[in-house]
Amino acid sequence: MIRFPPEVVMNKTDEAVRRARERSGEHLALLKEIVTIPSVSTDPERKADVARAAVWMNDKLVEFGANETKIIATPGHPVVWAEFRASEPDAETILLYGHYDVQPVDPVELWDTDPFTPTERDGRLYARGASDMKAQVMACLLAVRTLVESNALGMTVRFLLEGEEEIGSPNLAGAIEANADLFRAAVCLNLDSGMVGPGIPSIRYALRGLAYFDLTIRGPSRDLHSGGFGGVVHNPAQALAELIAGMHNADGSVALPGFYDRVREIDAEEHARAAAVPVSAEDLLAQSGVPALWGEKAFTPVERIGARPTLEINGIWGGYTGAGAKTVIPAEAHAKISTRLVPDQRHSDVHAQLAAYLTENAPPTVTWELRQLAGGEAFICDPNSSYHKRFAAALTSVWNREPVFSRNGGSVPVAADLEQILGMPSVLSGFALPDDRVHSPNESQDIATWYQGIEAVIRFLAAESA
């Protein structure tokens, strides 16, 4: 009996990987094309661009061989849906999640190159959304396309591509509820969680939730001359600062009443898993550039990011902010305040807790107004499911190293939505790196890591027999 050497009996999966490698230039060109669309979901003036990104995604899904696609309107930005049927009947169905919207670019003057003109430099592709998460979405599309062409798609693949992730997915739960049959699947693969470090494939089994607020403090009926009224009027910017200062305790914990009431404790297994994550205080200092770390002393930095809730001032403004001196007492001062939540907190509770804090602590010399702009629950799942193992195997075969399992400090509302509405678990991973500067100026995607990511998705979705 003649035995061919292994490189010659290349199976269909390996063949698909080879095909993907051959086409890496074309793949990168497609990624460059989609990042040119400034799909900033929070900016009303970009509404048409967000819609254009949805149409682009739909066009590519059709072109790549989807059996069916739909653009589902919502009260906000649309959801793109598609289905690619598996080569074999009775195959499982998997949902591939992605978002095609991006964060705003400001402060735009800090970008070295235009945020929507993709630029290659030192093996990275610089553009807003390159890493978060257009490269991740494209890894899914390109893996499926390659498998379809190789006749090796091992699962029926459904896509859920949304355009509101960066504003907290306010309309996604409604769209899932209204189209439950379209989105049903055994599991969701969600590549919106990155790697803990270069060359360290990573799977996340938890995400923090989010509650985002806009707080306005009002004092005088107009900006006042600080000479004429300084001493008898409580400056709203000062009152805002005083209220913000009171939102944390001296030990770094959040001071809102009841904030920790429902927080799930970190058990021994979780402590051990966090301790195994290869991210040190030094890594975080280097990644952030701060002179010293901060936060709850009773927890490690990895635990503080993944398993503890936080409260952040995302923006603050009031009074004169131009060049030089202007001696006013501002009529108003504003802050954007968000909390990152962990199981089993509820974002609606946090709204009530923040309002209660303000009721208790705001002085009678000012008035306040609190609006919730976004909310999503935290997510946690069993990292030992068969899908987690299968994705871990795919990552291991590409990186030649077992993935790290960790919690993710970020928020991806869809994971909680899918679990609550459809009972669907999620495998969270991705190919973004900690220094990709997501949400910041000069966002970029490491291109070699992205090519590896496409291969990992191919191996995960390939037919077992392929």
Q: Which is nearer to a second copy, 123 or 315 (CB)?
A: 315
Q: How far is the CB of 122 from a second copy (least distance, A)?
A: 17
Q: How far is the CB of 456 from a second copy (least distance, A)?
A: 22
Work out whether 380 is an interface residue with a second copy (CB under 8 A). Answer: no
Phi, psi of 463 (to 5 degrees): -60, 140
Between CA 109 and CA 457 the distance in angstroms is 36
Q: Residue holding tokens 């899904």?
A: 61
Work out whether 204 is an interface residue with a second copy (CB under 8 A). Answer: no
| Contact range with a second copy by CB under 8 A, out of 65-73, 92-100, 140-148, 306-314 | 306-314
Per-residue x/- mask for a second copy, residues 240 to 259, rule CB under 8 A?
xxx-xxxxx-----------
Residues 359-378 within binding reach of a second copy (CB under 8 A):
363-367, 373-374
Size, binding site for a second copy by CB under 8 A: 101
Q: Residue holding tokens 């600062």?
A: 241
Q: Residue holding tokens 């009074």?
A: 319
Work out whether 334 is an interface residue with a second copy (CB under 8 A). Answer: yes
Residues 105-164 within binding reach of a second copy (CB under 8 A):
106-107, 110
Structure tokens at 431: 């190919």
Work out whether 12 is an interface residue with a second copy (CB under 8 A). Answer: no
Between CA 281 and CA 377 the distance in angstroms is 27
Q: How far is the CB of 197 from a second copy (least distance, A)?
A: 13
Q: Which is nearer to a second copy, 15 or 43 (CB)?
A: 43
Out of 294, 356, 384, 389, the residue judged to bind a second copy by CB under 8 A: 294
245, 239 contact by CB (below 8 A): no
Work out whether 433 is an interface residue with a second copy (CB under 8 A). Answer: no
Work out whether 318 is an interface residue with a second copy (CB under 8 A). Answer: yes
Work out whether 308 is an interface residue with a second copy (CB under 8 A). Answer: yes
117, 128 contact by CB (below 8 A): no
| Contact range with a second copy by CB under 8 A, out of 183-191, 262-270, 329-337, 351-359 | 329-337
Q: Which is nearer to a second copy, 166 or 455 (CB)?
A: 166
Out of 15, 36, 71, 104, the residue judged to bind a second copy by CB under 8 A: 104
Work out whether 62 is an interface residue with a second copy (CB under 8 A). Answer: no
Work out whether 301 is an interface residue with a second copy (CB under 8 A). Answer: yes
How many CB atoms sit inside 10 A of residue 334's CB? 19
Sheet holding 332-341, edge to edge: 332-341, 209-218, 367-376
Q: Which is nearer to a second copy, 6 or 324 (CB)?
A: 324
Q: How far apart are the first and last CA of the chain?
A: 23
DSSP per-residue codes, 58-90: HHHHHHTT-SEEEEE--SSS-EEEEEE--SSTT
171, 76 contact by CB (below 8 A): yes
* Helix (H) / strand (E) containing 225: strand 224-225
Per-residue x/- mask for a second copy, residues 211 to 240, rule CB under 8 A?
-x------xxxxxxxxxxxxxxxxx-xx-x
Residues 407-426 within binding reach of a second copy (CB under 8 A):
408-411
Q: How far is the CB of 430 from a second copy (least distance, A)?
A: 12
Q: Is the peptide bond before 133 cis (omega within 30 degrees of 0)?
A: yes
How many CB atoms sit inside 10 A of residue 365's CB? 13
| Contact range with a second copy by CB under 8 A, out of 17-25, 67-75, 172-180, 440-448 | 440-448
CB within 8 Å of 62: residues ≥ 6 apart: 69
Between CA 397 and CA 3 the distance in angstroms is 24
Which of these, 79, 156, 56, lies nearest to 414 by C-alpha position?
A: 79
Q: Which is nearer to a second copy, 233 or 393 (CB)?
A: 233
Residues 25-44 within binding reach of a second copy (CB under 8 A):
42-44
| Contact range with a second copy by CB under 8 A, out of 60-68, 144-152, 172-180, 437-445 | 437-445
82, 58 contact by CB (below 8 A): yes
